Amino acid sequence: MSRPPTTEGKLSGSCFVDTSAFYALLDAEDPHHPKSVGLFTQLARSRARLLTSNHVIFETYSLVLSRLGRWMAQSWLGKLNMQIERAMPEDERRAVQIVLQFRDKDFSLVDASSFALMERLRLRQAIAFDPHFRQYGQFIVLH
């Protein structure tokens, strides 16, 4: 497997958004907040197509609810404006394969389903501060 570079490079085309990017955008105390704001601003200017998965939406909502409260979680959910791809049964099967293949990594099933969905859709870029995206090594990680 060749490994794409981790980069802050060209912001164009389609870009998958991970929970870590959403959370950093919402939590001003998160160490990645300034970078997340900048990346989302650049992506908006470049008219990149942002998309995420239903699994990431569920995970992000739960994380924001538990850490930042109901108001912030509901506000984020109500303002969310991007394409949401549903994980398919084959993505879920592939996610289990990924977790079992990378036994030395602590990939969550949501991480692995994101990787599977990105592979199925042939997405190359993700905005993520989660180190698992870099560890998987198949995508350009904007961070």
Does the pTM of the predicted model rise above 0.85?
A: yes
Distance CA 45, CA 127 (A): 15
Indicate the number of domains in the chain: 1
Q: Is 45 within a domain?
A: yes
Q: Is 1 contained in some domain? A: no
Closest alpha carbon to 111 in 120, 121, 98: 98
Angle at 14 between CA 119 and CA 78, to 5 degrees: 105
Does 46 fall in a domain?
A: yes
Q: Is residue 79 part of a domain?
A: yes
As a whole number of angstroms, the distance between CA 121 and CA 58 comes to: 20
The domain that contains 26 carries what CATH number?
Answer: 3.40.50.1010
Per-residue pLDDT tens digits for 43-99: 989 989 999 999 999 999 999 999 999 999 999 999 999 999 999 999 999 999 999
Distance from C-alpha of 93 to C-alpha of 78, rounded to nearest angstrom: 30
pLDDT recorded at residue 143: 86
109 within a domain of the structure (yes/no): no
80: containing domain: 14-89+124-142
Residue 114 lies in a domain: no
When mean pLDDT is compared across 4-8, 42-46, 131-135, 138-142, the lowest value belongs to: 4-8
The label of the residue with tokens 């919402």 reads 26
